[in-house]
Each structure stands twice: as structure tokens, then as C-alpha cells.
Amino acid sequence: MRLDELDYALPPELIAQEPAPERTAARLLVVGRQPEALAHETVAALPRLLRAGDLLVLNDARVVPARVRGRRPSGGRLELLLLEEHGDGDWEALVRGTPRVGERVHLPGATGTWTAALGEGRWRLALAVAGPVSAWLEQVGEVPLPPYIRRPGGPTAADRERYQTTFARVPGAVAAPTAGLHFTPALLAEAADAGIGHVTLTLHVGPGTFLPVRGGDLDTHRMAPERYELPAPTAARIEAARGAGGRVVAVGTTTVRALESAAGDGPLRAGSGEAGLFIRPGHRFRVVGALLTNFHLPGTPLLALVAAFAGRSVMAAAYAEAVRQRYRFYSYGDAMLIT
């Protein structure tokens, strides 16, 4: 596959700036095996679009308000996205600004010192906070909305609620598993009544998920590994559903990468791991039988994954139809169900 096959024209006004009025009211493009096999529904119709015996797999990672604004000693502004703690107070951060090694950074209610530059805007930060960092972030941090969602005054209280799935449980993600944003407890209950169960796993979404393919070369692109946890009961339910002829319906590309990484070249393995798998056309899917996903940015590994699952011609036809029908794109946008 060539990188230019992951491109498409999108009118800027189709980039969703707000979520749908209700989670299940988002539009749903249903995609079958042939390019012409497209249907227009809403997420609310999902229980009748799936089959009894199918199993929904959801990513229950919880988004942390990990974006913090700070200042250099000179007064210059910095914007930090805290990614991961590597030890007591030793953090990796994605920084917008120009810090220097050994320089202090002034943060609301905390201080820090830059200890190393890691490249591509990533830095190591020695962070000093009174009390748990999680509690501090809940007080001073912002929801890490993607840059194409524009909020002149910063994220709102509504973003705190809507840029989080209703089943979020395990803190650690710096971006939402956006396909899961469409689900409500009522929708999952309706699906259960139709014989469609659901289970959860955890993959902590990081910024590497959304980065474009570097250097224009799919062969040399490497995904940034992301931590996942596949509970033993979830793995057992998946194997039981497959054994009974049901489909594993992955909700989101993060779920796909966790499941396919946990399967590797053999049976599905429960437990912890790192998903560093770059899924593109040619990948043999070992677990996932259907996919619910949002619409993704051009030139990204997420779009390569969709092309691998749907087929390139089917994916191209679906995206062209979504643009023609004025679907809403990206994190707060509409969704597609690839069967």
C-alpha cells in the first residue's frame, strides 16, 4: 500500500467541533463487503444491525485531564501534556514551547525541572506536587482535546463529560477511545436484550496513535507502543463467543490493536502487554470480526487499519460517501460499522 492511498479530500466544515446532541444520535454508515453495500443509520440502531451471539469489546480507559499550562522563568508560555510517569515524580511530557534542560517550569500549584530532551517535542520532567498527581490534575488540568477541536477559551465543562466514555474506568489515557463515546448504558442494555453481550479491556491511548506516517514510508513507520490489559474473563468470553459462531465486534481501533496484539501469531492471551502493532493491508485478523469506528485523519495509521479491515476499495468508497452525505468527522463526529 502507498501512503497516497490514505488520502482523501475533506471540507473543513465537516470536522465536528461539538458532539451529537445525544451520544446514540450520531450517524452510522454501515459498510458491507462490496463498495456499493452502504447503508445509513444511527448508532441507536446498533442492536438490530448486529446479530444475537455477537460480542462487543469496549476500551474502558479513562481520559486524564493531563494538559497543563505553565511558564518559563522568563515568562514565556508552555503547554504540557503529561504522558506517563516513569518513577517518583519523573514524568514524560509532550511540550509546546521551547524549554531547556535544567530549566525550571512554573505550573499552577506545582513546580518542575526539565531533565532531558527526548525528541519530537517530548521531554523528561521532574515534577514536584503536594499530594497525588491525579488529584492535582483534576484541579488544574484540561481535557486534552485534539487540536482540530477549537475552543478559544479552552475545553468546557461539557467537554469533561462528553470526551469520556460512559464506561471509562481505568485512568491513564491522554486521548479518548472515540468510537466508545457513542455508547450509553441504555444502548448496552438494549443490545444485551437482543443477545449481544459486551466485555471490556484497557488500552491507554497515547498521542502516538494519531501521529501521521513519518517520512511518507509505510514500511519504516513504527507505532509507539501503548500499554494494554486484557482481563482473563474478557478473553474467555471472546473465545466462547467465537466458538459459538458469534462475531467479536471491536469498538474502536484501539480495541482492535489490543486484541490483535494479544493474539500475536497464536491463541488470544490474557494479561498485560504493549500494543505496538502497525496494522495495514496484508494483516491477517485473528480475533476481530466486525469494527465500529469513527472517521480518521488522512495519512494516519488508523486509516491504514481501516483499509486493512475493510479493503482499500471499500474504505475509499465509504469515505467518499460519508463526505457526499455530509457526515461529521473525527473525534466528536459520526461513526461507521464495518461488517
Packed helices 301-310 and 253-263: angle between N→C axes, nearest 10 degrees = 70
| CA–CA gap between residue 3 and residue 337 (Å, rounded) | 24
Residue 36 has pLDDT above 90, yes or no: no
What's the pLDDT at 35?
A: 72
Q: Which fold has domain 3-63+160-338?
A: QueA-like (3.40.1780)
Residue 62 has pLDDT above 90, yes or no: yes
> Is residue 261 within 8 Å of 223, Cβ to Cβ?
no
List, for residues 279-320, the tens digit of each pLDDT value.
Answer: 999 999 999 999 999 999 999 999 999 999 999 999 999 999
What's the pLDDT at 191?
A: 98
What's the pLDDT at 37?
A: 82
Domain ranges of the chain: 3-63+160-338, 67-141
* Model-wide pTM > 0.85: yes
What's the pLDDT at 88?
A: 86
Share of the chain above pLDDT 90, in %: 86
What's the pLDDT at 265?
A: 82
What's the pLDDT at 3?
A: 85
HEC secondary structure over 263-312 = HCCCCCCCEEEEECCCCCCCCCCCCCCEEEEECCCCCCHHHHHHHHHHCH
Residue 210 has pLDDT above 90, yes or no: no
Residue 329 has pLDDT above 90, yes or no: yes
List, for residues 179-200, the tens digit of each pLDDT value.
Answer: 999 999 999 999 999 999 999 9
What's the pLDDT at 224?
A: 83
> Is residue 180 within 8 Å of 165, Cβ to Cβ?
yes
What's the pLDDT at 116?
A: 96
Residue 211 has pLDDT above 80, yes or no: no
Packed helices 301-310 and 312-324: angle between N→C axes, nearest 10 degrees = 110
What's the pLDDT at 246?
A: 98
Residue 158 has pLDDT above 90, yes or no: yes
| CA–CA gap between residue 110 and residue 130 (Å, rounded) | 7
What's the pLDDT at 253?
A: 97
111 closest CA partner among 86, 140, 87: 140
Torsion region of 220: left, alpha or beta (phi above 0 gives left; psi -120 to 50 gives alpha): alpha
What's the pLDDT at 272?
A: 96
Q: Which CATH number fits domain 67-141: 1.10.238.10, 2.60.40.60, 2.40.10.240, 3.40.50.150?
A: 2.40.10.240
What's the pLDDT at 4?
A: 86
What's the pLDDT at 77?
A: 93
Q: Give the mean pLDDT of the chain.
A: 94
125: pLDDT confidence band, cut at 50, 70 and 90? very high
| CA–CA gap between residue 15 and residue 327 (Å, rounded) | 9
What's the pLDDT at 288?
A: 98
